[in-house]
Structure 1
């Protein structure tokens, strides 16, 4: 710690780490050099060069270096003793400089009461160095004033000033140490509470994720179980249809039965398609990226999203079939779109928007294919927009989201070389944009035909 006046120097507590210890020793050498470097001030005060003052400063500097060297090698028990000894020696050396530069008439004399304050500031957690410096300085200034002026009251006044300085230094440093300790304890308590809160949130998210994973596994099993009876239903439905319609029936009855069978067959096909889509999502990890048409990807996601949006909003898909292909995992990309459509539906449902609409559009911008998922809801609040893609950040209830959907969606899109960002529409509502690079298949390198006679074996 830098001393408050250029004429003082003392040593703070010894650091425990080797690198900090080396820096502490270097600082001590700087202090020692400063003490010697301030000798020109003595010359200005005395009006001439005097060796005793220079020698006293040399002793002061050597004492600092010696005590620092001893403290760097002493154990913790002896460090306190050396610290008190250093405080006493520093005070004596400074009193020596004061005496050699005019004693009571020296400008340095006015700084003597500051010695215990300096020690208290340097080592606020240990009052012994400040007390030792105060006692030494008080006795020293008392003797110096008695010898110089011979007035007992004047000398006692100076000693009293040093004593008062020592009291306020020790009291102030003690209060500062207590406040610092209380602040550190409060900081640790806040950190502990924040860690416990984060742990509780993480535990809730983990349980929710485990619950969703369990539901996913059960859904996979249910899908497998549905497939077998669904095949029997389809087969039996076709048999019943052919048998019933083969009978001699009135035309109106035949038409009505035909319509019933067609609607039933459409419902069975709808169930089969949903099962296939869910099954595809559960097996998407084994798929490798390939060329895929975005119109087909959006169609896959829209079929599943329609079940969630059926009673919430109208789903409009405007993605041209002729959009350039992209290189991605079709099921993964469909998962991203499904998540965005469902999020839009959740926002519309929560805001109770009448005539809600979710629109998916596609187009080309430069070298990228862009998909937009928009809704006519309340939009994204300004304070939420910067944190929208943070892990575990969600504005939904614990039963509706874990705060990982958008984070995973952005990671998936970036894995395919694209970007995913969110914004608010000028006319109201939110807009999520997916930009993916166009897939350009590698151009085969043409091979030049070999000249006649080259490349033929000897046996021809």
Structure 2
């Protein structure tokens, strides 16, 4: 509105310059002002397909009004003629996304300048100078419009990239927290086994401490130093067992690193079985067949331990809930087609058809709320897929469930170089021959 007031207010300057009132000057200024006011209103109410034509029309009317004012005020000698030469630049700043509007404004100003020059009959050099200046200003305005658009697109792309990076970081943090929550849920499901594992050594530790105390306070103790030493050694073993159970749980539950490393599948299974024994000890026999010479895998070790532990605990829950006699959980590792395969099997009832089709869905569970969250298998599959592997479920032909993990075998760069060396030597031998 301030710009419109300035445009209309300059009618006073026109009157003073001409020494008279000009209806043409007032009319042109009114049209110019209405054009400025109407443009944003029309753009808001029009569809995107009309944005280009409306912008071109706005540039056309503005340029014609400026040229008309120059004609009323004396042509090329008018004090407003300098605005004609800068009009394409002004259009490129206002409509920097529309190069066509800048071309329209520049073309109208060039034609208008030619008409004004012909009315004054200037010399050819003077006319050529003015026209060259107008064409140059138009080309410069188009260039500025193009560069401005490129800068804006680059800034927009940078904002999108920053937003994408922040979203990925937030997603990674959310996934990490979700994995940690599920990990703590598994620890909660191991709680009864933990209590049993700790209570047993605590019982004989307490009994041994009472015995040693009684013997030391007795006036005539009959226990020998060797007997006391044996009791204390037994007590120490119990304390170490408690410490080991707590350390294993603490190491599993802590926030682990996200960087994958080379590791052996046998070590991953050993860590998982150590923790799973707290749940499976009184539920099932454990059968482990994971050779030490399997190819190494490239994973986040703690995450894969979490996956295997979740599968083992699920197997124990299934055996316990269905009261399977002589329950057995087996873990088998082997190589198939260049991939490392791990099978976690049990001799329980297996998966019903309606469960097998939905087993990896988030929040789907057949357990009570205190036994599962419905996220364990869903998260396990996501973690395995992050390592380039797959996690599938099926029923065994002889009965029971089978969870199958496939992971790509990790190839060290040095081994690849060793494989290439014989080929290079053979090629060199052929070349020399």
* TM-score, length basis structure 1: 0.45
**Normalized per residue, which structure has more helix?**
2
Q: Provide TM-score, normalisation by structure 2.
A: 0.47
